[in-house]
């Protein structure tokens, strides 16, 4: 397969996988990020659970019966949404993932922010991070990334995406309620867990270009590299509780251990160059303003 085909495969044709959404939720929790709303596997009857109960004409209109007599439906969107990409029951049942729906945008507003390490989605263009080795220095000057917490959130997300092999993190979302200190939501993980034999190290660009990592993340990653807490074992155990288990094949589980070693190696290299102080970022404690009560005492 040529390079071009590879890129084409990853960005435009790669299917979205329900098991990737499930596995990503479990991994995010094991990494102690807790930034993916809970996801679980479900066997859905597309006819009785969706078609027969919906009152939405748009949704009804995308259902059809395939030549093999399976009930299918496709999505309506600006691109990539055609009957060729339909999903079909067998003839009615279909495996899917169910994600906890976040509170409405009017109740809990959130922003969609383009990733500073977005990939070029054209064949001619190159993004800043791909050509400029000092890219992180310029990002650090710009709001909101001049707040280190925001940048550290982007770096955590890069570690997460590298482990699942997700090259499609074009945007991330953030609740506005928490201001600049808000956490990044890890939504839309369906393009993870594609090829277990391929490690796309450029997904780690925010980590190796900025050479910073939260101390908590560093500790957790080291813990999951110990034989008694091996990431693949903890993941396998966690995923075994899903009703669609098994969710990941053995090679995908083993790929997690291998990629974890790569992350640790990248951080160690940063530490060798810049020193631990500069790389491993300690949690900033919010110092509460202390009110000093002055007692006017009458001196003898």
> CB atoms < 10 A from the CB of 298, how many?
4
The site that binds Mn ion (CB under 5 A) totals a number of residues, namely: 1
- Binding string, 87-106, against ligand ATP, x = CB under 6 A? ------------xxxx----
Question: Does residue number 173 form part of the binding site for ligand ATP (CB under 6 A)?
Answer: yes
Question: Does residue number 188 form part of the binding site for Mn ion (CB under 5 A)?
Answer: yes
- Report the C-alpha gap between 45 and 26 in whole angstroms: 25
- Report the C-alpha gap between 43 and 241 in whole angstroms: 15
Ramachandran bin of 99, using left for φ above 0, alpha for ψ from -120 to 50, beta for the remaining angles:
beta
Q: Is 168 an active-site residue?
A: yes
Indicate if the alpha-carbon torsion angle 2, 7, 9, 10 is positive or negative: positive
> Minimum Å distance from CB 183 to ligand ATP?
15
Binding test (CB under 6 A) with ligand ATP, winner from 20, 30, 187, 256: 187
Choose the stretch contacting Mn ion; rule: CB under 5 A; options: 147-155, 184-192, 221-229, 280-288: 184-192
Binding test (CB under 6 A) with ligand ATP, winner from 159, 188, 203, 206: 188
CB 4 within 8 A of CB 13: no
Residues 195 to 234: which contact ligand ATP by CB under 6 A? Answer: none
Q: Which is nearer to Mn ion, 188 or 242 (CB)?
A: 188
CB 156 within 8 A of CB 33: yes
- Report the C-alpha gap between 160 and 168 in whole angstroms: 12
**Among ligand ATP, Mn ion, none, what binds residue 102 when CB lies within 5 to 8 Å by partner kind?**
ligand ATP
86 three-class SS: coil
Residues that bind ligand ATP (CB under 6 A): 37, 99-102, 173, 187-188
Task: Name the residues annotated as catalytic.
Answer: 168
């Amino acid at each position: 397969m040529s390079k071009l085909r590879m890129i084409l495969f990853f960005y435009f044709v790669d299917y979205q996988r329900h098991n990737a959404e499930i596995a990503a939720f479990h991994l995010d929790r094991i990494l102690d990020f807790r930034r993916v709303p809970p996801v679980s596997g479900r066997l859905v009857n597309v006819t009785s659970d969706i078609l027969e109960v919906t009152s939405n004409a748009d949704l009804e209109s995308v259902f059809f019966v395939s030549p093999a007599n399976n009930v299918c439906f496709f999505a309506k969107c600006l691109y990539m949404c055609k009957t060729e990409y339909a999903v079909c029951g067998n003839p009615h049942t279909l495996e899917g993932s169910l994600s906890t729906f976040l509170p409405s945008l009017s109740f809990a507003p959130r922003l969609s922010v383009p990733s500073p390490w977005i990939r070029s989605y054209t064949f001619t263009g190159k993004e800043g991070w791909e050509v400029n080795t000092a890219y992180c220095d310029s990002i650090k000057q710009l709001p909101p990334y001049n707040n280190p917490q925001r940048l550290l959130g982007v770096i955590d997300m890069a570690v997460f995406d590298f482990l699942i092999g997700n090259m499609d993190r074009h945007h991330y979302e953030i609740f506005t309620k928490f201001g600049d200190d808000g956490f990044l939501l890890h939504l839309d993980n369906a393009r993870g867990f594609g090829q277990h034999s391929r490690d796309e190290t450029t997904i780690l660009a925010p980590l190796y270009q900025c050479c910073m990592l939260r101390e908590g993340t560093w500790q957790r990653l080291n813990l999951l590299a110990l034989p008694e807490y091996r990431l693949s074992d903890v993941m396998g155990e966690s995923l075994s509780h899903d009703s669609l288990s098994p969710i990941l094949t053995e090679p995908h589980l083993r790929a997690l251990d291998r990629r974890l070693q790569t992350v640790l190696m990248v951080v160690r290299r940063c530490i060798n160059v810049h020193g631990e102080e500069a790389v491993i970022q300690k949690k900033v404690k919010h110092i509460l303003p202390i009110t000093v009560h002055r007692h006017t005492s009458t001196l003898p």
